[in-house]
């Protein structure tokens, strides 16, 4: 049985149709050594993204980088204003730019803070502010951007 040249051509093009949408995406993840951040590092690297992650503990950063070949670990604390610019420079230097920032870092620990009427009111206020934000229109008008 022989395959026609047009069928053979379509078969060679088929893998391109199934490329993961994260393949080649440049992603930075803060809080990348535990919990959700760690899971995101692992998943995005496995799906072909170029990942840089940031965390405070040098040993954990080194361990996660070893476990996820291709991921770039950066030691830093995004809660310290003076650390933010050097971290950003390292991220963009390692990845050659940035497509996605997942700002996941937190020091709240494994337990959730109590939900109170004031925290619910605060969330509603933030929602209103975000929906009216001056950034919303320019960002949402860009084909490659999404406001969530």
Number of structural domains found in the chain: 2
Answer yes or no: do 69 and 137 share one domain: no
Answer yes or no: do 133 and 63 share one domain: no
- pLDDT per residue over 128-148, tens digit each? 544 444 444 444 454 554 444
- pLDDT per residue over 2-37, tens digit each? 555 555 555 555 555 567 888 999 999 999 999 999
Sequence-separated (6 or more) residues with CB below 8 Å from residue 41:
29, 32, 51, 53, 64, 68, 71
Answer yes or no: do 85 and 130 share one domain: no
Residue 105: the pLDDT is 87
- pLDDT per residue over 101-126, tens digit each? 999 987 665 555 555 656 556 555 55
Report d(CA 38, CA 71) in Å as an integer: 11
Which value, in Å, is the radius of gyration of the alpha carbons in the chain? 20
Answer yes or no: do 64 and 14 share one domain: yes
Answer yes or no: do 89 and 31 share one domain: yes
Residue 110: the pLDDT is 57
Answer yes or no: do 19 and 45 share one domain: yes
Report d(CA 81, CA 115) in Å as an integer: 28
Answer yes or no: do 50 and 91 share one domain: yes
Answer yes or no: do 56 and 123 share one domain: no
Answer yes or no: do 88 and 131 share one domain: no
Answer yes or no: do 71 and 121 share one domain: no
Domain that holds residue 136: 114-148
Answer yes or no: do 25 and 81 share one domain: yes
- pLDDT per residue over 75-90, tens digit each? 999 989 999 999 999 9
Answer yes or no: do 32 and 51 share one domain: yes
């Amino acid at each position: 049985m022989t395959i026609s040249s047009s069928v053979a051509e379509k078969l060679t093009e088929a893998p391109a149709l199934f490329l993961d949408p994260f393949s080649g995406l440049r992603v930075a993840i803060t809080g990348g050594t535990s919990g959700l951040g760690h899971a995101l590092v692992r998943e995005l690297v496995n799906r072909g993204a170029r990942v840089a992650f940031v965390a405070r503990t040098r040993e954990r950063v080194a361990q996660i980088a070893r476990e996820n070949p291709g991921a770039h670990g950066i030691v830093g604390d995004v809660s310290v204003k003076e650390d933010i610019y050097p971290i950003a420079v390292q991220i963009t230097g390692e990845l050659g730019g940035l497509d996605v920032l997942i700002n996941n870092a937190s020091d709240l620990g494994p337990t959730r803070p109590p939900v109170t009427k004031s925290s619910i009111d605060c969330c509603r206020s933030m929602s209103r502010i975000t929906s009216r934000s001056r950034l919303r229109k320019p960002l949402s008008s860009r084909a490659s951007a999404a406001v969530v």
